Amino acid sequence: MRMRRRPALQVFTLMIVVCMSSCATRRNATNILQQKWAPQQLQAEVTLLEKILEANHPSLYLFTPKDSMDHLFRDLKTGITDSLTLAQYRNRLAAVISAIKCGHTAIRFPEKYTDASLRQRHSPRFPLSIKTWDDSLVVMQNLIRKDSTIKRGTIITSINGFSPRQIIDSLSRFIGSDGYAYNFKSQLISFNFGAHYQNAFGTDSSYLVGYIDDNGVQRSTLLPNFILKPDSPRTIRPIVPQQPPLTRREIRKAALAGKRSIYTDTALNTAFMRVATFSSGQLRRFFRQSFKQLAKDSIGNLVIDLRENGGGNIGVSNRFIRYLTDHPFKVADSVFAQSRSLKYGRYIHPKWVYWLTMQLTSHKRKDGNYHFGFYERHTFQPGRRHHFNGQVYVLHGGFTFSAAAMVVSHLKGQQNVITTGEETGGGSFGNNSVHLPMIQLPYTGMQIVLPLYRVVLNSAAYEKGEGIRPDLPIPPSSAAIREGIDIKIETIKTLIRTNPHPIRQIPPRNQL
């Protein structure tokens, strides 16, 4: 009898241990998210952060004068009079750092905090996925499946009494951008509207949503929070034929396809190339094989989709440009750091890698800055093998940033290139990048990206501080969202069909 009961006892004990471990994990995650930090610790971190930025950030006072930044940091410190959670602290930091107007100077939670947040996946969520632009809020998905009033493509006119403009402004103040290239903020908000909304306004039990119905009538409805329910063991699941697991090769192929892809529409004599990064994905090989095939097939039109490309390795983006440019080019007019010493290096990671690289590659000039001479002096020539000489359409938008925006900048104005889509998130004047170590604050572990070099593409563009505007603007459309149409790609296809050899209406590069 004992031998028969022992397996049952072991199973019961295991269930108790698993249950207790699960509860402990949830409690631990809750404790991390709700943990508060003393005001003295937070004030000390703010003081330290200001000193690090003053010592090494190349554009701290470029768009916001020093006295204004000093005032913002001073108000931040004096305003911390009580203990704060990391989320509360992060918002106050972000509101100040966004005033630098540098899209690379981003804040990240400590890893343990991010992990704890992911474990809280069953917490209440804002019920709508929304795309934002200008003063517009348009629904991408309603997470409340039982609700049929608000569907994909529905125009939102208010949430809890706040207009779209008020909501977008409230969410945007926690996001940095290159100068006034605010399309970058809209794109980031659109990627996860619910999280940004809850960060700015908190979590309510329900939301009064104003919207325009199918008949053009303005209405309102009350939506509850969406709560992802854990799977119940009693749930009856349909029997689905089991699929064989993917092989390593198939998994790797899918991962690469997520970073870059190309296909050809033979009827249009057009290739559509999507490049979602310049950081990884065996891109050099991909470019070589793709442009070789384009030359072999005598493809006349090439559409390059950079809408998802947040940047990456400048060396890789330069290689890409060489397949397309019709003229020699340099990376930038100037690339410089204000210092190559890391005075507060114990808080900058990895310190020694960046310190040594700067000693070897940068040198002090008469202006007092340390210039990355290679990027300023070296002239890259157009590629000789498999160079594409047909019509090029460069498609970009708010998330086209950093090295991707530099690609757009170098190709814009070329006689066989038409830039299209929306304003880039990367500044037309340049950015702060090249080396991007991480500041880690000593008490909370909060992390802030620290760009070390200013990359100047066009110093005359600083005054406006905008992103790169397309030759052919194609704005978002609620109708296209509702119908599930990629309006930008379809517009380019129509243009190719009606005008396969377009005559540019803008002056060539040498006349800009």
pLDDT at position 281, please? Answer: 87
Per the prediction, the chain carries an average pLDDT of 89
Find the mean pLDDT for residues 105-109.
Answer: 95
SS (H, E, C) 327-374: CCECCCCEEEECCCCCCCHHHEECHHHHHHHHHHHEEECCCCCEEEHH
Higher pLDDT, 139 or 120: 139
C-alpha 465: how far from chain center: 19
Which residues, other chains included, contact 283 with Cβ-Cβ below 8 Å and sequence gap of 6+? Answer: 259, 260, 275, 277, 316, 319, 320
**Cα separation values, 190 from 114, 181, 285, Å:** 20, 16, 32
Question: Does position 22 have pLDDT exceeding 60, yes or no?
Answer: no
pLDDT in tens, 127-137: 999 999 999 99
89-93, 346-350, 393-397, 504-508: least confidently modelled range: 504-508
Find the mean pLDDT for residues 34-63.
Answer: 96
pLDDT band with cut points at 50, 70 and 90 for residue 119: confident
Find the mean pLDDT for residues 331-355.
Answer: 94
pLDDT in tens, 426-467: 999 999 999 999 999 999 999 999 999 999 998 888 888 999
pLDDT at position 253, please? Answer: 84
Find the mean pLDDT for residues 473-489.
Answer: 95
Find the mean pLDDT for residues 233-256.
Answer: 70
| Distance, CA of 506 to CA of 512 (rounded, Å) | 9
Higher pLDDT, 411 or 507: 411
Find the mean pLDDT for residues 147-152.
Answer: 92
Percent of residues, the chain, with pLDDT higher than 70: 89
For the chain, which domains are there?
Answer: 36-119 (no CATH), 128-224 (2.30.42.10), 248-511 (3.90.226.10)
Cβ atoms 136, 121 nearer than 8 A: no
| Distance, CA of 91 to CA of 420 (rounded, Å) | 35
Question: Does position 15 have pLDDT exceeding 70, yes or no?
Answer: no
Find the mean pLDDT for residues 220-226.
Answer: 94
| One-letter amino acid for residue 277 of the chain | T
Q: List the structure tokens of 286.
A: 């991909």
| Distance, CA of 417 to CA of 325 (rounded, Å) | 9
Residue length, the chain?
512
Question: Does position 238 have pLDDT exceeding 70, yes or no?
Answer: no
In 425-492 the beta strands, taken as DSSP E runs, fall at: 430-433, 438-440, 447-449, 453-456, 472-473
Measure the CA dihedral 236/239/245/251, to 10°. -70
pLDDT band with cut points at 50, 70 and 90 for residue 231: low
| Distance, CA of 454 to CA of 249 (rounded, Å) | 40
